[in-house]
Each structure stands twice: as C-alpha cells, then as structure tokens.
Amino acid sequence: MHATRMSPDLIVRLRRALPYIGIYAGILALIAIFLFPILWIFGLSLKTRLQTFASPPLFFWQPTWENYEAVLATASFLPALWHSLLTAGGAVLLSLVVGTPAAYAMARVSFRGKATIYYALLMMRMLPAIAVLIPMFMLFSSLGLQNTTISLVLAYTTFGLPLVVWVMRSFFEEIPHEIEESATIDGASRWAIFLYIVLPLSRPGMMAIGILCLLLAWNDFLFAAVLTNNATQTLPVLLASYSTADSGVDWGQLSAAGMLVVAPVLIIAVMAQRHLLAGLSAGAVKG
Amino acid sequence: MSETALQMTSDAARSPHIDVTTQRTSSRRSRLADVLDRYFHITAVAPTVIIMLLVFGAPLLFSFYLSFRGWTATRSLYGGGLVGIENYRLLLTEPAFVASLVLTVIYTIAVVASEMLLGLAVATLLMKDVPLMRLARSLLIMPMMMTPIVAALCWKLLLDPEYGFVNFLIGSKIVWLGNTTLAPFSVALVNVWQNTPYVAILLLAALRSLPTEPREAAQIDGASRWQVFRHVTLPALRPAILVALLLRTIFEFRSFDNVYVMTGGGPAGSTNLLSIYTYALTFGQFDFTMGAAASWIMLVTCLALCALPILVFRLTEPR
C-alpha cells in the first residue's frame, strides 16, 4: 500500500494543489465549450469536400488551403470584402471625427440641453434597430442613396456616435484640467486646445472606441441586408446568402469564408483586449 | 467598466463642471476664431446632433407616423390615408403576431437569465489568480467578438443532423434546428454560447474593482465561502449585474442575425422572434405601415421588459 507510506510532505503538497486542479479543470472545460466550436469550423475549412462529410468525423488529416483559394476566387467575395472595409472604415472615421469634439464639449463645458442630448443619444443606442430601419430605408431611397456605401456608412455612424460620446466623455473627464487651463491663459482658443493638446492625449481612448465602432460595423447584418444590393453587399450579407442557399453548400468553403470574416476581428480582439474592455460596458459589441 | 455605465445615473445629480473661463484676448485673433471659440460647445456638438436627428431621430418619428397609416398593395405608399390604431389592432388580434410577441418575451427572459447565471459563474472562476489565467481570459472573449452571422453558420454545421459534430458526440441523429420543440432551445443555446463571455467579462471587471477587505473580514469571522459570496460579494455586484442585465435584455430582445441564418424563424414559426416577424412583414411583404406598427410594439415591449429589472432592483435595494 503506497498511500499509507506516502510522506506527509507529499500529502500536504497534493492537498495544496487540489484547488488548483479544480480551477484548471474548470478553465479547460470553459475553453472547450467556448472555443472548440470555432476551432472545429477552422478545421472544417482545411478539409476537402469529401473529408468534411466523413463519418465519423476526421480528427487528423492533411490540411489543405483549397477552400480558401476557392473562396477568394469567387467573383463576389473580394468586392464584398472591399465594401465591408469601406463601410466599416468610413463609419469609424466619421464617428470619431464628429463624435470626439461633442464628447469633449460635454465633458468640459456646461451648457443648456447637455443632459437632454446625452440621454437622448443613449436612448437611441438602446432602441430596437428595426424600428428605424424601415424609415431609414425609405429616407435613403427618396434621396437616391439606396444601395450605396454612403447610406450604410451613415447608418453605422448612428450606431457609433452614441458610443463615442459616451466613452470619450468619461475619458476626457479623466484628463486633468490644469493642462488646458495653462493653455487658456496663454491665449489658445478652445478649438486649438482641443485639437493640439487634448486630442494627442486621448489616442488610447480613441483607439479603444475606434475598435468598438469597427466591430459594430463589421459584424452587422440587418442594416447591410436592407441597405445594400448585390453590387454593394458586405461580407455578412454574402455569407448569409451562402448559408441560406438550399443546395450545393460546400461546408469547407462555407467555413473558410466564415473564418476569413472573423479572423481580423478575433486577432484585433485578442491583441487589443485591454482597450476593448474599457468600452464594453457601453454595450458596444453587439448591434 | 461599470463605472462608466453608472455615471449615467449619477451625472445628473453631480455639480456642474468647472468651466475653464477664458480671458479673451480677441485683438490677437481673427473674428472667425473668436466666434468659433465663443460657440465652441455648439460647433462641437452640432454635427453629432444633426447626424443623429437626420439619420436616426427623424426616421424614428416617421415610423411612428407611418404606423398610423393604411397601405394596400394596389395603392402607392401614401395612398392609404390615416387609419388610426387600425394597424395596431390588426397586429394584436393576429395570432401569429401575438405568438411571436410571447415567444420573444419568453426567449429573452430565458436567454438573459441563463447568460447572467453562467456569466456570474464564469466570472468567479476567472477571478482566481492562477498562472495562465490572463491567457484564458483573452481567449474567452472570442465568441462574443465573432460576427453573429458566422457564429450562426458555425453552429448550423455543428448541429447538422447527419454530419454535425454535436450529434457525433452524443451518438444520435437529433434534428436540432428542424424540429418545432427543439429549434427554439437550439437557437437560444447558440445565443447563450455567444454572449455569456460578455456578461462574464463585465462582471469580472466589477469583481476585480471590489475591495477585498469586506470579504476577508467575513471569512475571518467564520463565514463559509457561499455565505461570503451570497452576503458580501453579490450585494456589492448589484450595480454591475443590473447594467449587464439591461444590456443583455435590450440586445437579446432584438436578436435577429443568428436566428435568421439558423432557422429563418421556422420551423412552423417556432423561432419566429419579433425582429424576424417584423423583417418579413416589412421587407418580405413590403407592408411598411404594418411593419412600422410592429416595430413600435416591439419598442414599447422592450422598454417594459427593461423597466422590470430596474423596478425589482429598486425595491430590493439593501438599506
């Protein structure tokens, strides 16, 4: 009987390790539940058509990039990628350029109607998007902007602006007043102070909120589905059309396309994790 | 993190910000710069307000107006005239709509409750300071960052009855998404999978910002781990829990993307959430006025759903 002869030292050490074993088992279970589905689809994207339908599923195989090549070679993927980049980039830029001065004014100047504007912005972010989608679609149609990238950029800017104002305002409030005060005494104007002193200081905050706005625009399906057509569709719309097609869905290619859409997002998410967390409470990640 | 959210409530009560008052030296500056400076707050805020009003506010009000208009396929959009609350009456007496409304409310409550409970459990686990925890935390962010369409796609393949991995794992041929009893659960599960990390991360940040002394004191006084959690940690987490609860309620109530891709509202309307119903009504049947009415019912229901936790939290506020 080994156990009885185990040295007391070892028993103490084992007992100390026990909670750790529990914690790590829990973490492993979590990672399995939350990451395995993504990994499995990544695996599918590296399989040939025959291998994807193997039963029981293959766990070891010679990976192939042919699905990615096939997806990138389809006529619709690269244009959709381009439109996704264009709309997301445009929306981020517009939200930041328009929203940052507003956030700064709200942080530093007291004026009438400030609270009203602030809460109205927050309310707008919280309303079910579909309530504005219908008239927004009609608005853009009547302006002759239907199916243009501009309409989508404007729509996504209305997602982003409340967030920019919310997050950047609290960011500006944390910058000490003294810096701006001394600049004021030196005769600098408000706009000059904002542009040359405050903005350079707020780069981290703008990074964080920029990434959140980017995610919002990149991940959206509903607005893109309504406000674009085949010529201007973004990646989520293209993917949805793949998956709702009844026949001839190639699992490998579908997975590869999906991975191409989420890869940038996942890389940014893990790399800019700390920045992201700052803005998460603003309800930013999901549309 | 929760602080930013809480500011929302405390800001109104706070004293006005100290204004950096300027001693104007206008002689040295151009008139334009002077005007820009005097009206700094207006020039800074106006673009945001204008964009939000034109692209968001005006359409919102217009949809309210639309919801009181009639429309028929034979006439132009504005040919229908005002019909009062007829659209609302028709919708609320339409069994399919009422079913969708009930389904959405039940779905939202069930999904949010699961996300909150699981998220809290995950957050307490992620709280432990052991080696590699940082890595685990950043890996767990991944599902919630995923494009919902792609997440739905992944799960559609995983839940495939014939070749899906889930059925391989449990060794059966269950039809997860094509079955009226199972489909709502499958769809809910995918949403819980995707958004639990979000709740966990929110609560984790709140947990980490709590002072450790009260917990340690309670432990020294002989409280069990559960008692410490129940009577010390949980009450301190209330604000963060409320914020997470509200955000999740708002976003689950409008769930569209992944459900639309996985089931399209079917089979037989078993996953026909309000957003999908409204979408089909508006962009499938092109009934814009009825769709507008549906979206306003949705909006009001969502506000009512959000008021519920706020009320409960107010009433049970510890003194």
Tell me if residue A282 falls in helix, strand or coil. coil
Of residues A124, A258, A276, nearest to B52 (C-beta): A124
- Do the Cβ atoms of A128 and B296 come closer than 8 Å? no
Q: Which of residues 93-112 of B touch A (CB under 8 A)?
A: none
Give the span between the Cα atoms of B109 and A64, in whole angstroms.
43
Q: Which of residues 41-60 of B touch A (CB under 8 A)?
A: 41-45, 47-49, 51-52, 55-60
Give the span between the Cα atoms of A100 and A107, in whole angstroms.
10
Mean pLDDT of A272-287: 55
Tell me the C-alpha to C-alpha distance, in Å, between residue A101 and each of A98, A161, B41, B42, B76: 7, 11, 8, 10, 43
Residues B94 and B47 in one domain: no
For the ranges A107-121, A138-152, A178-192, the lowest mean pLDDT is seen at A178-192
Q: What was the pLDDT predicted at B175?
A: 85
pLDDT tens, residue by residue, B4-55: 444 444 444 444 444 444 444 444 556 777 777 778 888 888 999 999 988 8
Q: Is the pLDDT of residue B80 over 80?
A: no
Q: Other C-beta atoms within 10 Å of B148: how many?
A: 26
Asked whether the CA dihedral B242, B247, B253, B259 is positive or negative, the reply is negative
- Of B183, B171, B149, nearest in space to B263 by CA: B183
Which residue out of B43, B132, B154 would a mutagenesis test of the A interface target, given it has the greatest number of A Cβ atoms within 10 Å? B154
- Do the Cβ atoms of A255 and A44 come closer than 8 Å? yes
Q: What is the pTM of this model?
A: 0.83
- Contact call for B142 and A254, based on CB within 8 A: no
Q: Is the pLDDT of residue A284 over 80?
A: no
- Of A102, A106, A93, A201, nearest in space to A156 by CA: A93
Residues B152 and B43 in one domain: no
Q: What was the pLDDT predicted at B119?
A: 94
Q: For residue B277, what pLDDT band results from cuts at 50, 70 and 90? A: very high
pLDDT tens, residue by residue, A235-272: 999 988 877 665 567 888 889 999 999 998 888 877 77
**Chain A touched by B174 (CB under 8 Å):** no
Q: Is the pLDDT of residue B318 over 60?
A: yes
Residues B141 and B263 in one domain: yes
* Mean of all residue pLDDT scores within chain B: 82
Q: What is the ipTM of this complex?
A: 0.83
Per the structure, the complete domain to which residue B223 belongs is given by 89-315
Instruction: Tokens for A279, please give them.
Output: 């803005």
Q: Is the pLDDT of residue B2 over 80?
A: no
Of A16, A35, A67, the residue that ends a domain is A67
Per the structure, the complete domain to which residue A48 belongs is given by 2-67
In total, the C-beta contacts within 8 angstroms joining chain A to chain B are 311
Q: For residue B212, what pLDDT band results from cuts at 50, 70 and 90? A: confident
Q: Is the pLDDT of residue A2 over 60?
A: no
Residues A204 and A275 in one domain: yes
Residues A193 and A229 in one domain: yes
- Of B112, B32, B157, nearest in space to A286 by CA: B112
Three-point CA angle B180, B183, B189, nearest 5°:
155
Q: Is the pLDDT of residue B165 over 80?
A: yes
The pLDDT > 70 percentage for chain B reads 87
Residues A203 and A189 in one domain: yes
Residues B202 and B115 in one domain: yes
Mean pLDDT of A139-165: 89
**Chain A touched by B291 (CB under 8 Å):** yes
Residues B175 and B41 in one domain: no
